[in-house]
Amino acid sequence: MAIESERKFLVASEDWRHLVTHSVAIRQFYIVAGSDRSLRMRVKNGEEAKLTLKLGAAERNREEFAYSSTLSEAETMARFALGDVIEKTRNIVPHDMLRFEVDEFAGPLSGLILAELETTEEVPDAYLPPWLGREVTGDARFYNANLALNGMPDITS
């Protein structure tokens, strides 16, 4: 078990693109999606499958349990997916001593770009990169399970 401590942001500019050090294609879907728990299957680059259980309200800190799975199991479970299967490219973008994961969504969520910062440290806004936009941590509309169930959120509100 791990405690996930995550901040999430909209992305305001394209300035992050030239800073990417690594990218991975992700396909993920949800088998359980509730206000205080989710069970998702994630496949990275079509090679590695992982089943993850997250517990706790959709806030900054949640308990997370992750288990390796096979691609065959992932394909079987995909038949039970709730809502849409999420497809995205995760880009690793370092900034000073921080590591951002910038997710560029495809398919029905095409055009949505979110940046995540996983850290237990308090990071003052002055240390955040200028390409970040509005913080949406705790805004359940931007959690992947809700994106799968409800589609593209209105990013103007």
Q: Give the pLDDT confidence score for residue 58 in this predicted structure.
A: 58
Q: Give the pLDDT confidence score for residue 118 in this predicted structure.
A: 87
Residue 53: in which H helix or E strand, if any?
strand 48-55
Q: Is 127 a catalytic residue?
A: no
Q: Give the pLDDT confidence score for residue 3 in this predicted structure.
A: 56
Share of the chain above pLDDT 90, in %: 76
Q: Give the pLDDT confidence score for residue 1 in this predicted structure.
A: 54
Phi/psi of residue 143, each to 5°? -80, 140
What's the predicted TM-score (pTM) here? Answer: 0.90
Token duo for residue 24: 């991975």
Distance, in Å, from the CA atom of 120 to the CA atom of 72, rounded to the nearest integer, reads: 35
Distance, in Å, from the CA atom of 15 to the CA atom of 91, rounded to the nearest integer, reads: 13
Q: Give the pLDDT confidence score for residue 33 in this predicted structure.
A: 93
What confidence tens digit (pLDDT) does each residue in 39-69 have?
999 999 999 999 999 898 756 678 889 999 9
Q: Select which of 30, 67, 127, 143 is catalytic.
A: 30
Sign of the four-CA dihedral 25, 5, 51, 87: negative
pLDDT > 70? residue 124: yes
Q: Give the pLDDT confidence score for residue 60 in this predicted structure.
A: 66
